[in-house]
Chain A
Amino acid sequence: MTTLTISRALNEGLRKAMENDPKVLIMGEDVGKLGGVFRVTDGLAKDFGEDRVIDTPLAESGIVGTAIGLALRGYRPICEIQFDGFVYPAFDQIVSQLAKMAYRSLGKVKLPVVVRIPFGGGIGAVEHHSESPEALFAHTPGLRVVACGDPQDAYAMIQQAVNCDDPVIFFEPKRRYWDKSEVDIAGGLAAAPPIDAARTLVTGDDVTVLCYGPMVRTCIESAAAAAGEDTSVEVIDLRSLSPLDLTTIFTSVRKTGRCVIVHEAPVTGGLGAEIAARITQECFYSLEAPVLRVGGYSIPYPPSRMEEHYLPDLDRVLDAVDRSLSY
């Protein structure tokens, strides 16, 4: 086992993917010599050359659009979008082209493109640097949408995403890039859970808490705090946001009878709404309380000196757990 940050674990995963398959390319703004603004691609241009780690012109639509062309030619491009709020110029290429090519071609064309997006707030940034646009992509059929929450998943899931023949939107928890923990680099991917499986990180009986990305650590800490007050919280990292691992979700909710869904994105029209509807439909007779959501308010991401009041934190998760238990 090696201790790595999420940023470094992604770097090691990308390195492995590039070593395993000469068709794997990295493309994006500042991914070459600089190694990306979060250093996720650090050293890769030096080791694999500028033909495989491409500093692109400053145009996100171009990054994804040309990645599609490279994929048509047999390559497996990994696009880096520098910040969440910069993905929108590429939205048309992702939604109308990347997501629909397999369907349009009746399966004759596959586009194994990964679009990496650092997402979420909490870093004191200016506008457009703290957003959580995952629901927009989860709402788009044809895309797989995943989020890693810790270094081990970062290392394994980025490789699984590259190996996947579907387009994958890969969300990275920006404010957790420098969180460290153990990663099994020697073990390979065989031991890793499938990319579309949720993972139960804390086992509990009273309330199920569903989360992903940057909220994983927050929810684990919330579960620990709740345990101190004799509340047993089960924490599930969804990992795959589309498709959802509903079996794992339903099994847990049927056990606990209560569920809190936590994400940074605004709750209105968010992923939590979809999950809550599914749970209500499938676990109705097991529920002891309505499914509750903790997330961003229905506003644009606020200026950074207010973001602490916008972002879900330990207290807000515990507050929702308490409210769920009060029914």
Chain B
Amino acid sequence: MAVNAAGQAASRPRSQDGPDFKPELIQLLTPEGERAEHPDYPLELTAEEIKALYRDLVLVRRIDFEAIALQRQGELGIWASLLGQEAAQVGSGRALQPRDMAFPTYREHGVAWCRGLDPAKLLELFRGVSHGGWDPKAHNIHLYTIVIGAQTLHATGYAMGIQRDGALGEDGEAVIAYFGDGATSQGDVNEAFIWASVNNAPIVFFCQNNQWAISEPLDRQTRIPLYLRAQGFGFPGLRVDGNDVFACLAVTRKALQAAREGQGPTLIEAYTYRMGAHTTTDDPTRYRLSAELESWKLKDPIERVKQYLIRSGLAKEDFFAEISAEADVIGDRVRKACLQMPDRDPLTMFDHIYQEPSPLLAEERAQLASYLSSFAGHADSLAKEGTR
């Protein structure tokens, strides 16, 4: 292995933070379920609001769990689990106003839930029935974007549109762009930071740092805590405990409000952990230690809210049983929606390429129709079988 003058392997970065540097982590609820205060992020929540957050966390985990099972049973092609990231997604998702716009990656099932998108729409994508297909305007959540980081530029452009529409102000609109730690290496994300900065665009960059980009740990992407990068681009950055739904809610709410009031972008680094595999095709035992997973289990985003509710006497066992029963109902509903999801007629693959009919596509469509009918009687069964 090549060694440089300092005696270090050529390919390894120097220490990430320096010996004395300790990044600040904004936390309003400790892993043990103790309430913490932060001078910049006062948060008043009613018992009902806390219970609602708990419900969101439990339900999105259950939807995720059901989707993994459906993939294992061959009903989904693939699934990207959000396990461990529920608080980052629910906290930020519930900070949004209905008029705000969210630009997700492909793992934001918790955000999608908060926006009111039917989970069945997500299954449609992961089952391979469509590439998404929902109307972004219906719930102000854009389509899932699979190419890493590309959506951050779309979000920035959308935010520039808000400026031009004069839709800023106390009751104005803001945008949130989701992405992961891996995405911060992409040119698109860095360009989005620059665009947002020089335009003072009303956008919150919400980075879920789940520590892993498939098999690559954070030190393959960065030598400094990610939130510190914001400074170089000219806007504030902060790190929040991504497993703390209170803190995620508070910091995102404040950053969104700043954005809508014309104070420009903020980078939020939600420090969390991808408890599962990258997707159902991945095998994390090949590249990470189970001890790391175990240590993060102690910081579980749901358990700490439960502990808080119990300790503060806001909820009793019947509440938890009720939520658990509701989760079962939703799990069941998601499963049924998946199993009953019809395949699309193969001929619809020619739809929505252009706004106006295209002679070439009409011809190709007719060719396929004629080809399918040449199997006399088999065409219907082919269509029903889909690709499996």
Contacts and interface: CB of A to CB of B under 8 A. Distances in A.
Given A59-B186, A89-B186, A308-B387, A303 B131 contact: yes
A310 interface: yes
Interface stretch (A49-57, A101-109, A270-278): A49-57
A15 B386 CA distance: 40
B14 interface: no
A61 B147 CA distance: 13
A62 B185 contact: yes
B128 A55 contact: no
B286 A33 contact: yes
B341 to A, nearest CB: 9
A305 B127 contact: yes
Contacts of B97: none
Interface residues of B, number: 53
B10 A302 contact: no
A270 to B, nearest CB: 13
Contacts of A268: 360
Interface stretch (B58-66, B83-91, B211-219): B211-219
B368 A306 contact: no
B220 A57 contact: yes
A18 to B, nearest CB: 14
Given A58-B148, A58-B182, A303 B214 contact: no
Instruction: Label chain A's interface by main secondary structure.
Output: loop
B280 to A, nearest CB: 11
B129 A303 contact: yes
Given A29-B213, A51-B1, A298-B360, A305 B11 contact: no
B216 A55 contact: yes
Contact of B77 (A125, A128, A299): A125
B77 A124 contact: yes
Interface residues of A, number: 44
Contacts of B286: 33-35
Interface string B365-387: 00010011010000000100011
Interface in B189-216: 213-216
B126 interface: yes
B270 interface: no
A193 interface: no
A54 B361 CA distance: 44
A300 interface: yes
Nearest to A316: B371
Nearest to A123: B77
A125 B2 CA distance: 39
Centre residue among A30, A304, A305 by max chain B CB count within 10 A: A305
Interface of B: 1-2, 9-12, 77-78, 106, 125-131, 146-148, 182-183, 185-188, 213-216, 220-221, 281-282, 286-287, 343-344, 346, 348-350, 353, 360-361, 364, 368, 371-372, 374, 382, 386-388
Interface of A: 29-30, 32-35, 37, 49-51, 54-59, 61-62, 85-86, 88-89, 124-129, 268, 297-300, 302-310, 316, 319
Given A54-B11, A302-B349, 14 more contacts: A29-B214, A37-B281, A58-B185, A88-B147, A124-B78, A126-B126, A268-B360, A298-B360, A303-B131, A303-B349, A305-B386, A305-B388, A307-B128, A308-B382
7 contacts: A34-B286, A85-B146, A268-B360, A303-B130, A305-B129, A309-B349, A309-B368
